[in-house]
Amino acid sequence: MIIVMQPDAGADQIEAVEAKIRAHGLAVHVSRGTERTLIGAIGDERTLEPEMFDPMPGVEKSMHIVKQYKMVAREWHKANTVIDVAGIPIGGSTVQVIAGPCSVETMPQMEAAAAGARAGGARLMRGGAFKPRTSPYAFQGRGVEGLEMLRSSADAHGLPIVTELMDVRMLETFLQYDVDVIQIGTRNMQNFDLLKEVGRIKKPVILKRGMSATINEWLMAAEYIAAGGNHNIIFCERGIRTFETAYRNVLDVTAIPVLKRETHLPVIVDPSHAGGKAWMVPALSCAAVAAGADGLLIEIHPNPCEALCDADQALTPAEFATLMEKLGAIARAIGRDI
């Protein structure tokens, strides 16, 4: 950590900062420039916070030099981590596709979706049983009954399942249904009690980016899970909130190479929620694979017009199959497969 002193900071103020650094067990290194004096803290600066120094008299600002995340950082774990989900590797050379409806509605819907996912080449199935909805009057999901429908329709086609956990009290139930991958949604990326709970188990976790979370906050959220002992974490970029109103969110493709550099963990992309319209999904999926994503989370629905949730962003199984062919060609162009 570096503490920048104000131009007129006195010797006693500099000494006070030095004393505080030493009190935390770090060494001090002072550098006197022509306009400012800088004080460096030598040692593990993760025990220090800028806010410890900023209010001290004579301090102009202070800043971390090293990143605050460690377990999820590539700096400390050079090789890519490949996560095994019921025999399917995520983070390896194959780009894995997870497909399914936004929300679980009925058994016929789920059966058609599972068949479509499988036929198109998806290796896992998604489906929401508990839905976070902006309005309390909107459809809130089928709940436990939905979990059951997801489990049985996916099993029939040999697909592991991915579904969102919103409430810590439902974790037991998720484990009973042996949910293969637990999804933490965008609104819960910083629900720290929920992160701590999924940190205590070993199930793979898809951690969606908060819709206005920085890369650093996202990595720190993953660090919460890792710090609990669960290292099976998959990052999922799903679009960020900006000033643009022509589409729901802006898919942040830059996050893909940046995360691949910062962390050893897999990075997937949800093109369906990002754009919010089915017709945008192919272009965004292609961009994500070309930029290096390890997987995709795509919404499909046997009959999008009748979907109870996010109807306008689901592909039909036929559209999905067409897209998968194109994605295969792109994956091969960059030396991967799908």
**Of residues 238-297, which lie at the interface with a copy of itself (CB under 8 A)?**
240-247, 250-254, 256-258, 261, 274-275, 277-280, 282-284, 286-292
Cβ closer to a copy of itself: 155 or 252? 252
Measured in degrees and rounded to the nearest 5, phi and psi for residue 100 equal 155, 175
Q: Does 33 bind a copy of itself (CB under 8 A)?
A: yes
Q: Rounded to the nearest whole angstrom, what is the least distance from the CB of residue 87 to a copy of itself in the complex?
A: 28
CB atoms within 10 A of CB 302: 20
Restricted to residues 181-200, the positions that interact with a copy of itself (CB under 8 A) are 187-188, 190-193, 196
Rule CB under 8 A: say whether 56 interacts with a copy of itself. yes
Contact call for residue 15 and a copy of itself (CB under 8 A): no
Pick between residue 11 and residue 261 the one whose CB is nearest to a copy of itself.
261
Using the rule CB under 8 A, is 19 a contact of a copy of itself? no
Q: Whole-angstrom Cα distance, residue 255 to residue 293?
A: 10
Which residues from 143-162 bind a copy of itself, rule CB under 8 A? none
CA 118 to chain centre: 24
Among 112, 182, 205, 224, binds a copy of itself (CB under 8 A): 224
Q: Calculate helix-pair angle for 107-120, 144-156, nearest 10 degrees.
A: 40
Closest by CA to 215, choosing from 242, 191, 237, is 237
Q: What is the DSSP string of 88-111?
A: EEESSSBPEEEEE-SB---HHHHH
Site map (CB under 8 A) of a copy of itself, residues 82-111, x = contact = ------------------------------
| Total of chain residues touching a copy of itself, rule CB under 8 A | 104
CB of 300 vs a copy of itself, minimal distance in Å: 13
Q: Are 323 and 285 in contact (CB under 8 A)?
A: yes
Using the rule CB under 8 A, which residue among 10, 19, 25, 66 binds a copy of itself? 66
From 33-41, 85-93, 142-150, 175-183, give the range in contact with a copy of itself by CB under 8 A. Answer: 33-41
Question: Applying CB under 8 A, which of residues 49, 84, 145, 178 lies at the interface with a copy of itself?
Answer: 49
Evaluate whether 13 touches 58 at the Cβ level (below 8 Å): yes
- With vertex at residue 49, the alpha carbon angle to CA 13 and CA 199, rounded to the nearest 5 degrees, is 165
Closest contact distance (angstroms) between CB of 14 and a copy of itself is 15
The DSSP secondary structure of 147-203, one letter per residue, reads: HHHHHHHHHHTT--EEEE---GGGHHHHHHTT-SEEEEPGGGTT-HHHHHHHHSS-S
